[in-house]
A and B are shown apart, each in its own frame.
Chain A
Amino acid sequence: MSAPPRTEAVAASREPSARGAGLRRLWAAPRVRWGVLLLAATTAFAFLGGLLAPFDPSQPVGAPYAPPSPGIWLGTDQLGRDVLSRVLHGGAYLAWMAPTSAVLAVAIGAAVGLAAAYWRGWVDTLLMRAMDVVLAFPGILLTLLFVAVFGPLPWLLVTLVVVALVPGVARVIRGAALPVIGREYVQWAKAVGMPSATILRTELLPNVSSPLFVELGVRLMWAVGILASMSFIGYGIQPPAADWGLMVSENRTGLGIQPLAVLAPVVMIVVYTVSGNLIAEGAARVIARTEGRAE
């Protein structure tokens, strides 16, 4: 015996946002919009920046740790290479590896989370305990082990990041899907015999799209962080390639003499991370507002 519907008056007063529900409402939030624009800008910078580089990123152009001078706007690094050219070149790895790992992690994590929530029982136990095991295993150890065996291959790094991120995504999506599965429209779909795969795709997935978007933003941030740290400890992209994380590591001894060699790549990593943060945070706020209003 449920309460009379208090939300009815609100619902009836024509919500313009109901159409194209999830994503459109997210895009309407300024934070999300800024985040996406920033992400697009950094990505474009990372891929196309190399074309604008004044020098070859792997050839010395002056003395090591030279301060900025006309033509060499950001000075040189520990081997005398142009910092500006290296920054312009150095985002390419991160710019494809981070989003790829984030998207893969969210896709796999969502599949695992939805399956666990939908079937419950032993499927749930098996999947989620497996996730716990992954979560319990220190990611850094895993990285050291695999990179030591196979070498720092880009696809291996992506795989390692994905493995590290999937359990978190799976947990969140499982949590978001559980209440949806209790809803009557999912019960109805089961009763009329809709195939499970269709229920997952058409009834469940669209109704967890908002948390999914938050996850994408959060996991992008994480992926950037993990990849940059891998480079920093020397298990990521290898010298002499230009890479933001690697540059921080290479030039940190000269921080006192030529701070720009460290600061420039750090700023780029920060901007990249903030874009993910903005998307996640903005999406989370929209969801909180929506849930506060509806049902």
Chain B
Amino acid sequence: MTATLEVADLTIVRDADEARIVDGLSFALGPGEVLGVVGESGSGKSTVALGLLAFARPGARIAGGRVVIDGVDLLALRGGELRDARRRLAAYVAQDPATALNPALALRTQLLESLDGPPAENLDRIRRVLRTVGLPADDAFLRRKPRQLSGGQQQRIAIAMAVVARPRVIVLDEPTTGLDVSTQAKVLALVKQLCADEGIAAIYVSHDLAVVADVADRVIVMYGGELVELVPTDALLGAPRHPYSRALLAAVPSARERQVLHPIRGRAPGVGERDAGCVFRARCDFATDACLERPPLEAEPGGRLVRCVRADEVQRLTRITRVADRPERPGLVCRPAVLEAEGIDAHYGERQVLFNVSLELEPGRCLAVVGESGSGKSTLSRCLIGLHEQYEGRLRLDGEELPLTARARPAAARRELQYVFQNPFGSLNPRRTVGSSIAAALRLFGSDGRRTGAVVAEALERVEISARLAERYPAELSGGQRQRVAIARALACEPKVLLCDEVTSALDVSVQASVIELLRGLIDEGLAMLFVTHDLAIVRSIADSVVVLSEGHVVERGETAAVLDRPSHPYTQGLLADTLELPALAG
């Protein structure tokens, strides 16, 4: 096999201090092959994606190495030659199609941009590609602007733009992260088919192991800017040989089985925080003194590369999650519901987004609200907390009538209902210390001023954050830590009900696992929880019962096991079928 893409010793550094963001990455890729690159935030995977196009973000610089596509070393080219080589040889699909497409230009103009043959031929080519990606190819469609398309259609246009000029290599950076599972399934199938048909070598960058497992032939696992394992996909799933790969797999929830998730302790090293030893050493269960020296990348049979001195011992261990299934909580019929919602109808302006939704939250149980984007699931949680204004229905808290908007509610009710937001980067005031954010909530509910410090410390301890961090500002914390602080702020108010809106969707899987375990612990202590999510695997691992929303209607509800094992509504069945799952593992 002659390599289409050959990367040798690619090194990208931070301008300010020459710290390595990507450290000596090498691999080769044949035509039609899809290579997955997985890693968590800060692993350098997006920097690699851009580096393959000989591009570095402002503040970073490609310090060395080769990126050879079809015999042309992109890194050796400059200016016009580089631009020309990029146009002919490589293409890039960004994470967010809405920002990748020019909103002011018609699709036709954007698709034609990279072609330089005769116009009639070009138009032909465009139509063929559009049909391949499953979009209409008529003139009316070509005259449309990007904003007239859905997110999934936009991403397909972005992919069409990438392949239309017949590149040799296509780099896809998290192209399905913002999409619903059903759309994601279609895009993944499309990528696989296009690469096989047109002989394009593809690099598929993602944080989602299940996605990579579905689309890639081989996988690079990155950690702290290094390649720690390069392995055929099946072998990675069956027998990970690097401790990080193994830990990553153990942190992924499954939609099929209810499991206790295993977070990875500690946090990933930032750029410039790495020492001479193994980069994963600080968080590794297998670390020994031998790891104080940076392990070499060992070549193994089957074209496999592993950077670990104890790979054999890692592989011998079975996957731990198999034994630790989480028991389902039986419905506690004797306990009355804490929060009841009846006949919720919600509007956004003229448009009705929720239709007669009712639900009950019981203490010590978690109810998941599942649906795709636009299903109204976030609106539902905003209604319950009283932030959404345009809705009718009846709410009861502990059997007493609850006013619909937060403003009209008595202080006790506002204290007992707490909310945790999706985005950990926006949920804390950047100009307040962590402790002050929590104390602000306490002051509102007239807590004893002298006790505030103790209550704050206690709340932080409950979410496993050191009380010393109370003096820190949010910018000094990682995403996972911020989400924990947001949960601590809610807990400090001693709520009866916690409403969680997609609280883990912005987090890495290993961090997600720790937040899920934390929340599950709180539920077991007697908290009633509403957990809004689009991810069925998370539903399986945390929820006791589930409500499925589609376009504002409840289409199915019941105990988690019953709904996920035997979905009765076609919408739920489709959702389950499209949810990617790591193939069952030997163990």
Task: Say which one of A146-154, A156-164, A200-208 lies at the interface with B.
Answer: A200-208
Q: Select from chain A the residue with minimum beta-carbon distance to B408.
A: A193
The interface bits of chain B over 478-493 (1 if a CB of A lies within 8 angstroms of the residue's CB, else 0) are 1100000000010001
- Assess whether A233 is interfacial by the CB under 8 Å rule: no
**Of B177, B268, B477, B479, which one neighbours A1 at CB under 8 angstroms?**
B177
CB–CB A191/B419 < 8 A: yes
- Assess whether B270 is interfacial by the CB under 8 Å rule: yes
- Assess whether B273 is interfacial by the CB under 8 Å rule: yes
Alpha-carbon distance A228/B419, docked complex (angstroms): 54
- Assess whether B202 is interfacial by the CB under 8 Å rule: no
Residues of the A chain whose Cβ atoms lie less than 8 Å from the Cβ of B426 = 183-185, 295
- Assess whether B318 is interfacial by the CB under 8 Å rule: no
Task: Say which one of B299-307, B409-417, B542-550 lies at the interface with A.
Answer: B409-417
- Assess whether A141 is interfacial by the CB under 8 Å rule: no
Residues of the B chain whose Cβ atoms lie less than 8 Å from the Cβ of A190 = 387, 406-407
Q: Is the interface of B mostly helix, strand, loop or mixed?
A: loop
CB–CB B46/A15 < 8 A: no
The interface bits of chain B over 512-545 (1 if a CB of A lies within 8 angstroms of the residue's CB, else 0) are 0000000000000000000000100000000000
Residues of the B chain whose Cβ atoms lie less than 8 Å from the Cβ of A188 = 419, 421, 427, 489
CB–CB B475/A6 < 8 A: no
Q: Select from chain A the residue with minimum beta-carbon distance to B414.
A: A193
- Assess whether A51 is interfacial by the CB under 8 Å rule: no
Residues of the B chain whose Cβ atoms lie less than 8 Å from the Cβ of A183 = 426
Given A10-B270, A191-B386, A192-B415, CB of A4 within 8 Å of CB of B477? no
- Assess whether A69 is interfacial by the CB under 8 Å rule: no
Given A18-B476, A22-B431, CB of A3 within 8 Å of CB of B414? no
CB–CB B429/A203 < 8 A: yes
Alpha-carbon distance A7/B387, docked complex (angstroms): 28
Alpha-carbon distance A193/B207, docked complex (angstroms): 37
Alpha-carbon distance A294/B428, docked complex (angstroms): 14
Alpha-carbon distance A6/B271, docked complex (angstroms): 13
Q: Select from chain A the residue with minimum beta-carbon distance to B501.
A: A184
Residues of the A chain whose Cβ atoms lie less than 8 Å from the Cβ of B473 = 18-19, 21
Q: Select from chain A the residue with minimum beta-carbon distance to B441.
A: A192
A44 to chain B, nearest CB (A): 32
Residues of the B chain whose Cβ atoms lie less than 8 Å from the Cβ of A1 = 177-180, 373, 502, 505, 534
- Assess whether A63 is interfacial by the CB under 8 Å rule: no
Residues of the B chain whose Cβ atoms lie less than 8 Å from the Cβ of A209 = 431
CB–CB A4/B96 < 8 A: no
- Assess whether B343 is interfacial by the CB under 8 Å rule: no
Residues of the A chain whose Cβ atoms lie less than 8 Å from the Cβ of B23 = none
Q: Select from chain B the residue with minimum beta-carbon distance to A182.
A: B426
Residues of the A chain whose Cβ atoms lie less than 8 Å from the Cβ of B40 = 4
Residues of the B chain whose Cβ atoms lie less than 8 Å from the Cβ of A6 = 41, 46
Residues of the A chain whose Cβ atoms lie less than 8 Å from the Cβ of B179 = 1
CB–CB A4/B177 < 8 A: yes
CB–CB A192/B427 < 8 A: no
Residues of the A chain whose Cβ atoms lie less than 8 Å from the Cβ of B427 = 184-185, 188
CB–CB A3/B506 < 8 A: yes
Given A2-B423, A13-B270, CB of A206 within 8 Å of CB of B505? no
- Assess whether B42 is interfacial by the CB under 8 Å rule: yes
CB–CB A194/B46 < 8 A: no
CB–CB A192/B493 < 8 A: yes
- Assess whether B174 is interfacial by the CB under 8 Å rule: yes
Residues of the B chain whose Cβ atoms lie less than 8 Å from the Cβ of A140 = none
- Assess whether B95 is interfacial by the CB under 8 Å rule: yes
CB–CB B178/A5 < 8 A: no
The interface bits of chain B over 213-243 (1 if a CB of A lies within 8 angstroms of the residue's CB, else 0) are 0000000000000000000000000000000
Given A187-B387, A191-B419, A192-B441, CB of A4 within 8 Å of CB of B430? no
CB–CB B409/A193 < 8 A: yes
**Of A8, A22, A187, A203, which one neighbours B478 at CB under 8 angstroms?**
A8
Residues of the B chain whose Cβ atoms lie less than 8 Å from the Cβ of A13 = 270-273
CB–CB A5/B41 < 8 A: yes
CB–CB B441/A12 < 8 A: no
Alpha-carbon distance A191/B426, docked complex (angstroms): 15
- Assess whether A197 is interfacial by the CB under 8 Å rule: no
- Assess whether A9 is interfacial by the CB under 8 Å rule: yes
CB–CB B178/A2 < 8 A: yes
Q: Select from chain A the residue with minimum beta-carbon distance to B206.
A: A4
B455 to chain A, nearest CB (A): 15
The interface bits of chain B over 77-113 (1 if a CB of A lies within 8 angstroms of the residue's CB, else 0) are 0000000000000000001100000000000000000
Q: Which A69-105 residues sit within 8 Å CB-CB of chain B?
A: none
Alpha-carbon distance A15/B270, docked complex (angstroms): 12
CB–CB A12/B444 < 8 A: no
CB–CB B425/A9 < 8 A: no
B442 to chain A, nearest CB (A): 10
B441 to chain A, nearest CB (A): 6
- Assess whether A144 is interfacial by the CB under 8 Å rule: no
CB–CB B41/A14 < 8 A: no
- Assess whether A11 is interfacial by the CB under 8 Å rule: yes
CB–CB B506/A9 < 8 A: no
Alpha-carbon distance A8/B272, docked complex (angstroms): 14
CB–CB B430/A21 < 8 A: yes
- Assess whether B267 is interfacial by the CB under 8 Å rule: yes
Residues of the A chain whose Cβ atoms lie less than 8 Å from the Cβ of B556 = none
Alpha-carbon distance A231/B500, docked complex (angstroms): 62
Residues of the A chain whose Cβ atoms lie less than 8 Å from the Cβ of B478 = 8, 11-12
CB–CB A4/B476 < 8 A: no
Residues of the B chain whose Cβ atoms lie less than 8 Å from the Cβ of A19 = 473
Q: Select from chain B the residue with minimum beta-carbon distance to A8.
A: B41
A150 to chain B, nearest CB (A): 42
Residues of the A chain whose Cβ atoms lie less than 8 Å from the Cβ of B373 = 1
Residues of the A chain whose Cβ atoms lie less than 8 Å from the Cβ of B41 = 4-6, 8-9
Q: Select from chain B the residue with minimum beta-carbon distance to A194.
A: B444
Alpha-carbon distance A187/B534, docked complex (angstroms): 22
Alpha-carbon distance A4/B424, docked complex (angstroms): 11
**Of B177, B431, B507, which one neighbours A21 at CB under 8 angstroms?**
B431
CB–CB A12/B42 < 8 A: yes
Q: Select from chain A the residue with minimum beta-carbon distance to B177.
A: A3
CB–CB A187/B506 < 8 A: no
- A4, A22, A183, A194, most chain B CB atoms within 10 A: A4
Q: Select from chain B the residue with minimum beta-carbon distance to A196.
A: B407
Given contacts A2-B505, A21-B431, A192-B414, 19 further A-B contacts (CB under 8 A): A2-B422, A2-B423, A3-B95, A4-B506, A8-B508, A9-B41, A10-B270, A12-B477, A13-B272, A21-B430, A22-B431, A183-B426, A185-B426, A185-B428, A187-B421, A191-B414, A194-B440, A207-B429, A295-B425
Residue contacts A-B, CB under 8 angstroms, 22 given: A1-B178, A1-B180, A1-B505, A2-B423, A2-B506, A3-B178, A5-B479, A5-B507, A14-B476, A21-B430, A21-B473, A184-B426, A185-B428, A185-B437, A191-B419, A192-B406, A192-B415, A192-B418, A193-B414, A207-B430, A294-B475, A295-B425
**B residues engaging A (CB < 8 A)?**
40-42, 46, 95-96, 174, 177-180, 207, 267-268, 270-273, 373, 385-387, 406-407, 409, 411, 414-415, 418-419, 421-432, 437, 440-441, 444, 472-479, 489, 493, 502, 505-508, 534
Q: Which 5 A-B pairs have the closest CB atoms?
A: A9-B42, A13-B270, A206-B431, A184-B421, A18-B475
